[in-house]
Amino acid sequence: MRVGIHSGFTFLSFRAKSRNLLLFPETFRDVSTPLDMTKQRAFQRAVLGWYRERGRDLPWRRTRDPYAVLVSEFMLQQTQVGTVLPHYKDWLQRFPNFAALARASEAEVLHAWQGLGYYNRARNLHATAKIVATRHCEHFPRSIDQLQQLPGVGKYTAHAIATFAFDQPVAIIEANTSRLLSRLLDLRIPIDSTAGRNALWNSASALTPKKAPAAYNSALLDLGALVCLPRQPKCGICPVKRFCRAKNPKSLPIKRPRPGTKQLVEKHAFVVEHDKVLLEKSPARWRGMWILPPVKLDGFKPSSLPHPIYTAVFPFTNHRVALKVFRQRLRQIDNGKCWFPFRKLDSIPIPSPHRRAIDALLGLNVSSVHAQR
């Protein structure tokens, strides 16, 4: 099957590798002209030339160490570069290689991850380190198939490691590159559909050069992050604007409508005795971390609770959580709960929303991590 695009835009015409792509709307015609290699090379030269002058100098771009690249990719999932930078340096100092991370306890790993959120990434990174250290004798796999068998490594992460650690000529598609390519292609199908994803991966693969693919992919990421912005793209300074066929570059790529964001309410207790605070090891969302104990109503109605002494709202995956904290006195301490001296709070893994609540309620700077999710 061939992908259809505007008849005037033969530069990015390509034969789709997938046979399962949906046809574009009838306003598009099927184009059988193969990729124009001359314009493809011009596009690549423009991208790489801009990157040499304007690309970001990021620490994970100064290394080909698979471990350092893997750490950066896990940290950058759903997290901005500015948030990752200080955590990345600290992490590598604390866990400089697969062996060091594999030897660490889960509590140490979660504590080091504080401020980055989405803690399953830390657990998956820890599990991957153990696999590499034991099964692979610290030799990191190079093939895409082997990489995707590691915990938490999907298609994008596998391709990113392959290109940034091993300079393999493979495409990468994430938020920035998908926005850039969908505008270049003037893609009119949802980019989060199977058809849209296939179209983006196929077009990106067709454009990826065999020479200097790591620099090229870094350039696309930076173009999306610095120039081809979501709301106000800087088309006037875009180095590839002559190749772009978007009629309205300020419009965002089409996505399928999402259900409304839900807000969940979580009630927790603040129990203090002298210079200690009571915490509970979370069995669910914050598994392996210490949180303020959930409030148990024991048959009483929620309306019987006093006013919360602390309230905060924070995002969590596809919903928002309203954290409400109530002052309470517990008559007995259940299993899983433990008293912690104030001075020890900075050395245990506590999720950022709960740590901020403790900080505010104690009125002390007990945390060195104040990063927002």
The catalytic site residues sit at: 73
* Residue pair 152/120 in contact by the 8 Å Cβ criterion: yes
* Helix H or strand E segment including 325: strand 319-327
CA distance 171 to 69: 16
Tokens of 243: 């190749």
DSSP codes, 148-190: TTSTT--HHHHHHHHHHHH-------SHHHHHHHHHHHT--S-
**Sign of the CA dihedral with 47 first, then 227, 56, and 177 last:** negative
Quote the tokens at residue 172. 């990468």
Q: Where are the alpha helices (DSSP H) in the chain?
A: 37-54, 66-76, 81-94, 98-103, 106-113, 120-134, 144-147, 155-166, 175-185, 194-207, 213-222, 352-362
Phi, psi of 337 (to 5 degrees): -100, 155
Burial, 354: exposed, middle or buried (Cβ in 10 Å; 0-12, 13-18, 19+)?
buried
DSSP SS3 for 47: helix
Among candidate residues 97, 110, 111, 93, the one with its CA nearest the CA of residue 69: 97
Helix (H, G, I), strand (E, B) or coil at 327: strand
